Amino acid sequence: MTKTKKIPVVNRELLFPFIMITSLFALWGIANDLTNPMVSAFKKVMPELTNVQASLVQFAFYFGYFFMALPAALFIRKYSYKSGIILGLILYAIGAFLFYPAAAYEEYSYFLISLWVLTCGLAFLETTSNPLVLALGDETTATRRLNLAQAFNPMGSLTGMIIAQVFVIGALRSDDYTAEAFNALGSEELAAIRENDLGIISIPYIGLGIVVLAIMAIIVFTKIPKTAEEDKMSVSESFKKLFANKNYLKGVLAQAFYVGAQIMCWTYIFQYVDHMNEGRAEVEQLTATWFNVVAMILFLTGRWIGTAMMKSINPSKLLMWFGLGGVVMSAGAILLSGMPGLLALVGISVFMSIMFPTIYGIALKDMGDEAKIGSAGLVMAIVGGALMPVLQGSILDWGGDGFADVAVLGFIPEVKFSFILPLICLAVVAWYGYSSFKTNKTTE
């Protein structure tokens, strides 16, 4: 009787490089979820901003992915994965340190530029790290390996959320006033509060820049194995193969919609909770960050459970069911009132948990050297996180700056109706799961 040899997710000799690359997943998770509450924070510190203008925080942040992903892929093709990681960390640190002059000049546009530079660094890290993790081991365990590495991303996200609440949102002086009381303050007092609060916003980013430099120092001395490149094809050949790959093109589309859904759910939960707090007594006020923390814990739990389920369930099929679960929860966030609606919004995170790495793994399945350019396309798809929040912000601006200026269908406030966008996005992800499962089933 012959025993089937068990293939490890990560080989022992590649464990330390895998750990170091995995730390980068946590690192960009911190940046992502430290930034999500900044839409609400800047709106409070700078009340002259509309919801659309405040949402430009997310546009600047996620547009950097779109702008830099392809240059990053071309860079690592010419040099190496390790070089791409180091350059990404340098850009990350520069963007973080630019928050200091942005706060000093009190210019909103400077903060947006800082976020854009920071995210150009993240584009290098994601374009490099995702395909590198797929390559660090046997192809049959690649999707599970990427899900394992991506499971550490929400740990970083949790850290970013807590930093945002404790060191930013909870410390803002402008948050101590109602909108009417804040606008009634004298110009000197308003200027002092603005200077204080913008300084508070900048401090966590500056600290993060220092952490990034420390991790970069370790990466410099870590031996990152090179992947086989004997049959390296030209860039034009890579693009030709990618554009002929329908599964890949659908994956890029699904990834854009997924990231848009994720960023909208984790950004506008603050406005959702602010709407619920209207008319509540001070002691009954809800804190959006803690609900976001619960959402992230559920996201992390779902990632671990989903990764384990892939041992026995086809990843495409699992993606389809998780997408449908997200659609149901989104409908609950729109239609249910009070706490049930908020819990449904939080529950979306369970179903989003496996989506990014699973779409990534399915879209790049059976690729060779073109995976480097292919990876860039999937990272560029993160631009969905730049565009969708602005669109949702425009829905919130229907009728004015309030959250219930318009009642859609006569009973749904626009802040709740705006979550129709995540519902549509997650339906697209479910469709991609079904499509890829059906395709793979017919070709096996």
pLDDT in tens, 383-403: 888 889 889 988 988 877 777
User: Who contacts 182 (Cβ-Cβ below 8 Å, separation ≥6)?
Assistant: 47, 174, 190
Please report the pLDDT score of residue 129 as a whole number: 85
> In this predicted structure, what is the pLDDT of residue 232?
63
Question: So what's the pLDDT on residue 93?
Answer: 96
Q: What are 120-157's pLDDT values in tens digits? A: 999 999 888 877 887 777 777 777 787 788 778 878 88
Quote the pLDDT of residue 1: 43
Give the mean pLDDT of 70-79: 86
The C-alpha angle with vertex 120 and arms to 119 and 123, in degrees rounded to 5, equals 85
Band of pLDDT at residue 239, cut at 50, 70 and 90: confident
Task: Give yes or no for residue 216 having a pLDDT over 60.
Answer: yes
Query: Mean pLDDT over residues 34-63, rounded?
Result: 84
Residues 94-102: contacts with CB under 8 Å, at least 24 apart: 94/118, 94/121, 94/209, 95/119, 95/120, 95/121, 95/209, 96/205, 96/206, 96/208, 96/209, 96/212, 97/205, 97/206, 97/209, 99/201, 99/202, 99/205, 99/206, 100/202, 100/206, 102/198, 102/202
Instruction: State pLDDT tens for residues 222-233.
Output: 887 766 544 466
pLDDT band at 444 (very low <50, low <70, confident <90, very high): very low
Higher-pLDDT residue of 334 and 189 is 334
Whole-prediction pTM value?
0.77
User: What average pLDDT does the structure give for the chain?
Assistant: 85
The predicted structure's pLDDT at residue 307: 81
pLDDT at 181 over 70: no
End-to-end CA gap in the chain: 27
Q: Which pLDDT belongs to residue 267? A: 86
Does residue 180 or residue 241 have the better pLDDT? 241
Mean pLDDT, range 174-190, rounded to an integer:
71
Rounded to whole angstroms, the Cα distance separating 205 from 93 reads 9
In this predicted model, what pLDDT tens digit does every residue of 269-316 receive, in sequence order?
988 998 888 877 666 778 888 898 899 889 989 988 988 888 888 899
Segment 341-357 mean pLDDT: 94
Residue 367's pLDDT is 74
Q: Which helix (H) or strand (E) holds 213?
A: helix 187-220
Is the pLDDT at 217 greater than 90, yes or no? yes
**Percent of the chain's residues with pLDDT above 90:** 34
CA count, 13 A, side-chain hemisphere, 389 = 33
